[in-house]
Amino acid sequence: MTSGGPLRLFEGTGVELEYMIVDSATLDVRPVADELLKTFHRTYDMEVERGAVSWSNELALHVIELKTTHPVPSLSGLARQFQAQVADALDRLAPMRARLLPTAMHPWMDPHRELRLWPHGYDAVYRAFDRIFDCRGHGWANLQSVHVNLPFGDDAEFSRLHDAIRVVLPLVPALAASSPMIDGHATGLLDTRLDVYRHNADRVPSVAGQVVPEAVGSRRDYEQRILGRIYEDLAPLDPEGILRYEWVNGRGCIARFDRMALEIRVIDAQECPVADVAVAAIVVGAVRALVEGRWADPATHRRWSDAALSALFLDAIRDGDLAVVRDPAYLAALGLPARDSRRMGEIWQHLIEATLAPADREEARSWLDQYGRHGCLARRIVTALGPASTRDRVAEVYRRLADCLALGVVFDPTS
């Protein structure tokens, strides 16, 4: 917040990064986030403020979240701040014989056997989620993401920002997919996290919808068409209204009217903060270009149908940067000459060139090089694994990814 009220469009950005806690020797998940947080104040606090970056846990005990304490005016320098917190976390985990593992899913975790939920203090929300949806599946227990929060100052800014995010959101897995494996094997999808995520609330389908949010024209419209439907459908299962809050919405972008921001949730966690912040900056740059009408009147963005955007989103989940867009009108909306088709990786290269600020480009140079040469992280992981993905080979590759996080370097599948 500013002294004059809420932040306006692009006056600040909030970033949240999630990483897994695993055994140093075996890389099996270790549900010790509570013990990690306890090293600060000797109490089981769910959140600890560390200056510009705060630490917290949500739901699964093997996940630690690092997040900006307040919205930052620029992402420049943010990766270094996050990396310093990663180093601190590793130091605190070392006596527990644990370390951090990046990417969006653990490659062999058994969520039915290994999930542990936060057990301390007021855990009624977690117990309600578990009772209604059964959190022992991959879609609840085994997924790490990057959340990007973008502020809006009023209803007009909300609708304009929401429209732009809807258009960009289907492309995000092509940029950020990092989850090609579960249960010890490759799934054939590059963004398995989003595939399981979109099914985690199937008992109440309105909770996640099609993940790509519906087009809305105002806060009132949003509260009636999206939140109202969710609350109504949940009511028989949640008569006490424990989950009757806007954060229960499981779409890939949700409105947080409590803090006047839209939260983008479809970015897979990458291999280190340099990569995480690079992806965040690229997504924000693309959204900003649409909000500002760089290539089309922003009023036209609401016209894209849920079905068309969801179809693109599913293609990106499957094929990542090699997914193909065959809609000339969609390409034109993103500033590309209308032609029969473009790979999503090509679209992102265009958006990077057109929108990424020079300071962000410099800090993202190593990530940009790997994405340009080898594609999204999921594709790089598949390349490194090779055709014979034995358990030993998977462990070897994911240990390299853990080293990337510890060292703050981008993963090169050929090294």
Q: Helix or strand or coil: residue 14? A: strand
Q: What is this structure's pTM?
A: 0.96
| Domains of the chain: total | 1
Whether the CB-CB separation of 130 and 141 falls below 8 Å is answered with no
In a domain, 9, yes or no: no
Task: Say what the pLDDT of residue 188 is.
Answer: 96
The CATH number assigned to the domain holding 141 equals 3.30.590.20
- Is the four-CA dihedral 333, 335, 336, 338 of positive or negative sign? positive
Range of the domain at 28: 14-407
**Residues 6+ away with beta carbon under 8 Å from 188:** 318
Q: Please tell me the total number of residues recorded for the chain in this structure.
A: 415
Provide the pLDDT for residue 81.
98
The pLDDT value given to residue 330: 95
- pLDDT for the residue 114: 96
- Tokens representing residue 87 in the block: 């180093």
Nearest one of 351, 333, 338 to 296, comparing CA atoms = 333
Q: For 24-40, how does the pLDDT look when each residue is reduced to its tens digit (9 = 90+)?
A: 999 999 999 999 999 99
In a domain, 99, yes or no: yes
Give the separation between CA 8 and CA 151, rounded to whole angstroms.
6
Q: What is the pLDDT of residues 268-285, one digit of tens each?
A: 999 999 999 999 999 999
Is 52 inside any structural domain?
A: yes
CA 81 to chain centre: 19
pLDDT confidence of residue 370: 98
**100 domain-assigned:** yes
> Residue 310: inside a domain, yes or no?
yes
- Inside any domain, residue 44: yes
Instruction: Return the pLDDT at 224.
Output: 96
| Any domain includes 335 | yes
Spans in the chain with pLDDT lower than 70 = 1-5, 122
Q: At what angle do helices 377-385 and 365-374 cross, to 10 degrees?
A: 60
User: What is residue 3's predicted lDDT score, i.e. its pLDDT?
Assistant: 40
Evaluate whether residue 126 is within a structural domain.
yes
Q: What is the structure's pLDDT at 1? A: 37
Q: Output the pLDDT for position 229.
A: 97
**155's tokens:** 């209803």
